[in-house]
Each structure stands twice: as C-alpha cells, then as structure tokens.
Amino acid sequence: MKICIIGAGAIGGFIGARLARVGAAEVSALARHETLAALRQHGWRLREAGAGTGVWQAPVHQVSDRAAELGVQDLVVIAVKGPALAAVAAGIAPLLGPHTRVLPAMNGVPWWFCQGVAGVGEAPLRSVDPDGRIAAALPRERVIGCVVHIAAASPQPGLVQHNFGQGLILGEAVGGHSAAVQAVADVFTRAGFDVTRSADVRRDIWFKLWGNLTMNPVSALTGATTDRILADPLVRAFCSAAMREAAEVGARIGCPIEQSPEDRHAITTRLGAFKTSMLQDVEAGRPIELDGIVGVVHEIAGRLDLATPNIDALFGLARLFGRVHGLYAAQPAG
C-alpha cells in the first residue's frame, strides 16, 4: 500500500514512523520548510513513550513539498491543523487516483460531517469549509473518518515524542463497513495501533469533540492545565453546562451522548495535569483550531435553532482572545 502523510508533525509523524518501522507500506511525506529538511536528512524519527532518550529512525520512502513528485497514492493521511486544511485541499489532486482514500487524522468536526443530516441544510459548514472548496476537492465518498486517541508532541521538526495512547477509530464517512476500511485497519494494526472499526464514525467524532469542546478553549484562555480547570467549581460547572448543550445538539443530528459531564470529568481527572493541544498552540504562537472544535458547534446549533448560550460565550471569548493575540483569523461576527 502506498501511503502519503500530509502534515508530518506530532500525529502525522507518529503515524508515518510507526508504519515505516514495520514495513507495512511505502510511506511518503508531503512536507515544507524545516520539516521537509529534517525528513530528508534524518528520515522518520520517533521516541516512544517509556523508551528513555532512544530515538528510532528509518528513511522516508519519498519526501517532497510538491505533490506531483509523489504521485498517486492508495491512502492519503491528512494530519494538519484545521486552519491549514483549505490549502492542503487545493493542492492534493496529484496524489489522488480513482481509488485513493483520504483519512483526516485531525481534531474537531470535519467538512463532510453534516452532509445529508436532516434539519442542518445542504450548505457547507461555513466554520470549517467557508466556500465549499474542501468538499469539492475531497468528496465524502473518498473519506475514511478517523478519531485519534494519541498524545504526542514534536519537540523539533521531524522528531516525534510519543507520550501515551495509540488508539484509532476508523469508519466510512458515509457509514457502514467496507473492505477498504478493513484493509487500512489491517495495515495500521500491523504498525501497532489499537484500531477500532466503526459503522457510524460520526458518533465517535462527536463524542471526542464533546469531551474537547470546553477543555481546549478554557485552557487556552486561562493557561491552566486540565486538573486546575476541573478543580475550580465555577469553571467546572460552566464546562458541564456547555457540554449539556453540545449533547442536545448531538441528539438532534444523530450523535447522542450516553455519558454525563461529571462522568467525563472523572475520566479527565484521572489523566492528571496535562496541557491541551490548544494551550500548546497558544504557547507556541500557532493558530488555534477554534472553528472546528467550538465554532462549528455554534454554527450547527444555529441551523437547528437551538439555544446554546454557554457555547456561544465560550466561542466569543476564545475567538476574541485569538484575534487579540494574532492566533485566529478575523471572520465576520456571528
């Protein structure tokens, strides 16, 4: 299987290195700038959790900043941050053949998520695909939905530090089971991932979003690790209220939540003090993935005429914070 990784950072680099380590596929990378140079010089580099300072290395099958040099792939793994996806979609065509599948290993609600969902409308989700160009370049029928349960970091370009977790949930974006998903699941399982195949990956995506919806932006606003967020009773109650609103939205779009906010808080508490991905982005001066995690829930709720005052307040505050600090592109108010 020919696999190309777009976005060889923490998650993309981890996936690429794991696949290359077991020879499960011909693993190439589409990369830029320092990451491109690092992959050309060192290949894949991975420091596994619990492995001390040892770094595993392997050559990249091909690496380029031009998709045309890599050619048609069997699978394209997109592991960029949400704000970068439109540019990826605009240049991805040379990697796509008639049977190429696309697997977005990304946070938040994807562009295809509400296609065909009653009550939401057929217009693209403006928060994640403002002009519909992502959906045009990457139609839902090509997509294998993915939920990533992995904590990793990239302390320097081309080097991945795996912290914990190796879970992947995979499923057809259009729903149901397929031989294509099974084939991809088999390759990822050989590479050491804990793979779950899902017949309704939308529900899995929404469930992860429901857990991240508050922790990410609240940590970005406050600079607090998750343990401190949940230790403050007022903040904890606010997070719970927003999660109850998101659960109501989910129930209306076929993604019911079967857990209470307090149950989820208990699980998060057991993970100890950790920095969310959005807080890490703030500290590194990178754009925050606000639209795909919070803005999209605000948008869907509006299309359903559901009141979500806590989510709206959270989105407004985090959006303003991002604009003031140059971490969120200005959009029309709404």
pLDDT grade, residue 49 (50/70/90)?
A: confident
Q: What is the mean pLDDT of the chain?
A: 94
Domains of the chain: 2-199 (3.40.50.720), 203-324 (1.10.1040.10)
- Sheet of 26-30: strand order equals 63-64, 26-30, 2-6, 73-78, 96-104
pLDDT per position as a tens digit, 159-199? 999 998 999 999 999 999 999 999 999 999 999 999 999 99
Interval 117-146 mean pLDDT: 93
Helices first, then strands: H and E counts in the chain: 13, 10
The 3-class SS string of 100-158 reads EEEEECCCCCCCCCCCCCCCCCCCCCCCCCCCCHHHHHCCHHHEEEEEEEEEEEEEECC
- CA–CA dist 110, 120 (Å, integer): 15
**Pairing of β 144-156 and β 159-172:** antiparallel
Catalytic annotation present for 208: yes
Residue 333, pLDDT > 80, answer: no
pLDDT of residue 332: 44
Q: Can you say whether residue 6 is alpha, beta or left, with left for phi > 0 and alpha for psi between -120 and 50 degrees?
A: beta
Of 2, 81, 208, 275, catalytic: 208
Query: Sorting pLDDT into bands at 50, 70 and 90, what band is 331?
Result: low
Give pTM, 2 decimals.
0.94
SS3 assignment, position 172? strand
b/e code 46-56 from CB counts within 10 Å (16+ = b): bbbeeeeeeeb
Rounded to an integer, what distance in angstroms lies between the CA atom of residue 268 and that of residue 148? 16
pLDDT at 237: 98
pLDDT in tens, 208-224: 999 999 999 999 999 99
Length of the chain measured in residues: 334
Distance CA 319, CA 325 (A): 10
Given this model, what pLDDT does residue 233 score?
Answer: 98
Determine the residue type at 36: L
| pLDDT mean over 244-258 | 97
Percentage of the chain exceeding pLDDT 90:
88
CA distance 187 to 132: 32
Helix residue ranges, H only, the chain: 10-21, 33-42, 67-70, 85-91, 133-137, 179-190, 201-222, 226-231, 233-252, 261-270, 277-284, 296-303, 309-324
Q: For the chain, first and last CA: distance in Å? A: 44
Least confident of 48-52, 171-175, 240-244: 48-52
Better-scored residue on pLDDT, 21 or 241: 241
pLDDT class of 118 with cuts at 50, 70, 90: confident
Give yes or no for a contact between 111 and 124, defined as CB atoms under 8 angstroms apart. yes
Q: What is the pLDDT of residues 295-321, one digit of tens each?
A: 999 999 999 999 999 999 999 999 999
Summarised one tens digit per residue, pLDDT across range 24-34 is: 789 999 999 99
The pLDDT of residue 334 is above 70: no
